[in-house]
Amino acid sequence: MGLNTEVLKYFNKVTEDPGQEARRWKEETGGKVLGFLLTDVPEELIHAAGFLPFGIYGGEKGMSLADAHLQNWTCSYVRSCLALSLGGRLDFLDGLVIPQRCDATRMVMGIWNNQKPLSFMNNFRPPRQVERPSAKRYYLGELKRFKKELEEYRGLKIADDELKKSIQLYNSNRTLLLKLFDLHRQDSSLLSSRELYNIIRASMIIPREKLKGLLIRLLDTLNYKSPQKTDQKIKIFISGTFLEPLEIADYIEESGGTIVGDDLKNGFRYINGNIPEEGDLLQNLAEGQLRKIPSASFDNSINPRRNFLVNAVQEKRADGFLLLHLKYCEPENFDYYDIQQVLKKAGIPVQKIETEFGDTSLGQLRTRVQAFLEMLGGVELV
């Protein structure tokens, strides 16, 4: 349905073979590529040091390579990332940064280091409580440690204006991505759900200066066409860890729906939250992380995520809520029951579906998404 522009084609090419983009950048610049697991990584610092931050998205093929190292009940995202590396599909990486968000991300570095050591391997450890004053002080310390280790690896300090430029660039890109999200929300015939989430994926890979140019070009083309009619489609809010596989977006659209909002690690949580460009920049980065939208890995017992989600659904006027349960994702799973209760109380239709990197049965996924959309459509007709 979306515009078949050159830029969209380019984004598709990038996500089909993410390594190609990184390899080309290395050839052109002689720079180093630092991979990271999604997300909650201070990419601005990596970028300011002159490295290419490369979001490791996980993959569908070759999962069995991880079998000898990670039990099959381990998070399939982490398994698939390790499998990519073992299969030689991340050989262009010079380094790896793993943000510790759960037990799988807390424990996988040792295995990776044992199997595929890289010259820069770093666990990044955001605080898991975000409310007390100690969290900010610690996080600032962790940022300083991380910065220092990047500087040692680079052999040169990261200058304040380098960091400032990176923050500015990331802010621009986030703003552009949010604009794209808004346009999609207004009229999904301009930019489909799948195209939107595919762009977010690509935005973690493409060199960020180049990304900015691509996003501007895309917005120019789309703005030229808009505004169109308001979307009459069934509005779906999606929640969970990742939108995986991307086909889910297709199934929603082919059943007459569109995605209007999310709280995903590779969605709104990633593109939301600009960092102030003046003052103490590390402090700003720390505050930015602690102010992010609620997440299972950084919550408290009040579970602000529940009310955040109800509000977001109402604000986006979503007709239904699709919970994407990434199988074996422990922190997420512990939140679901209470989230579902609160949504139901607010009169929001909820459907939970199980997803997995690797062997997902697409047919089954499609049937479940279709059934939910049919149910919502039926509600509308009454």
Partner 1 sequence: MSGKKTFKTAALMKELMKKNYEDGLSAGKSGIPIAWVTAVSPVEIIYAAGLFPYYPENFGATVAARKVADKLSAVAEARGYAHDLCGYARCGIGDAYASEHPVGEIIKPDLLLCCNTQCGSLPKWFEVAGRFYKAPYFLLDAPQIGAEPEELVTNYFLEQLKELIVFLEEVTGKSFDYDRLGEVLYYSNEACRLWNEVLDTAAQRPAPFGFFDACFHMFPIVTMRGTKEAVAYYQVLKDEVEERIKEKNYAIPNERYKIYFDHIPLWPKLRWFSDLFASHDALVAVSQYTHSWAYSFDRTRPLESLAEQYTREFVNRFFNYRIELKLKLMRKYNVDGFVLFSNRSCKPTAIGLYDKRNIINNLTGIPGVVFEADMSDLRFFSEEQILAKLDPFFEQLKFSVKK
Residue 58, token pair as written in the block: 């996980």
Answer left, alpha or beta for residue 256, where phi above 0 means left and psi between -120 and 50 means alpha.
left
Instruction: Identify the residue among 15, 80, 85, 100 touching partner 1 (CB under 8 A).
Output: 100
Q: Where are the alpha helices (DSSP H) in the chain?
A: 6-16, 18-29, 43-48, 76-86, 103-115, 133-154, 160-186, 193-202, 208-225, 247-254, 268-271, 281-290, 304-315, 330-345, 362-381
- Binding residue (CB under 8 A) for partner 1 from 20, 29, 134, 228: 134
**Which of 178, 336, 349, 370 touches partner 1 (CB under 8 A)?**
336
Q: Residues 107-126: x/- map of binding to partner 1 (CB under 8 A)?
A: xxxxx-xxx-------x-x-
Minimum Å gap between C-beta 241 and partner 1 is: 14
Plot region of 210 (φ>0 → left; ψ -120 to 50 → alpha; else → beta): alpha
Site membership for partner 1, residue 287 (CB under 8 A): no
Token look-up 């049965």 returns 361
Task: Determine the Cα–Cα distance for residues 287 and 135; give it in Å rounded to an integer.
Answer: 10
Residues in 301-320 at the binding interface with partner 1, rule: CB under 8 A: 301-303
Decide: is 345 part of the binding site for partner 1 (CB under 8 A).
Answer: no
User: CA nearest 254: which of 348, 185, 188?
Assistant: 188
Q: Token match 């501007």: residue?
A: 216
Which CB sits closer to partner 1, 83 or 183?
A: 83
Q: Select 99 or 257, whichever has its Cβ closest to partner 1.
A: 99
Kindly tell me which of 283 and 303 has the beta carbon lying closer to partner 1.
303
Residue 74 found at the interface with partner 1 (CB under 8 A): yes
Please list every residue from 181 through 210 that binds partner 1, using CB under 8 A: none
Within 10 Å of residue 30's Cβ, how many Cβ atoms?
Answer: 7
Pairing relation of β-strands 350-355 and 257-262? unpaired
Q: Is 292 in the site for partner 1 (CB under 8 A)?
A: no
* Phi then psi dihedrals of residue 189, to 5 deg: -75, -20
Looking at the Cβ atoms of 134 and 361, the one nearer to partner 1 is: 134
Q: Which two tokens stand for residue 180?
A: 């794209």
CB of 95 to partner 1, least distance (A): 17
Smallest gap, in angstroms, from Cβ of residue 62 to partner 1? 18
Rank residues 100 and 203 by Cβ distance to partner 1 and give the closer one.
100
Question: Should residue 5 be labelled a site residue for partner 1 when binding is judged by CB under 8 A?
Answer: no
Q: Which of residues 143-182 bind partner 1 (CB under 8 A)?
A: 145
Q: Are strands 257-262 and 320-326 parallel, antiparallel or unpaired?
A: unpaired
Q: Which is nearer to partner 1, 115 or 186 (CB)?
A: 115
Q: What are phi and psi of 207, to 5 degrees?
A: -50, 135
**20 contacts partner 1 (rule: CB under 8 A):** no
Is residue 29 a contact point for partner 1 (CB under 8 A)?
Answer: no
| Class of residue 381 by CB neighbours under 10 A (exposed 0-12, middle 13-18, buried 19+) | exposed
Instruction: Pick from 254, 338, 361, 379 the residue near partner 1 by CB under 8 A.
Output: 338
Strands (E), the chain: 33-37, 52-56, 95-99, 120-124, 234-240, 257-262, 320-326, 350-355
Contacts to partner 1 by CB under 8 A: 68-71, 73-74, 100, 102-104, 106-111, 113-115, 123, 125, 127-129, 132-135, 137-138, 141-142, 145, 296-297, 299-303, 325, 327-328, 330-331, 333-338, 340, 352
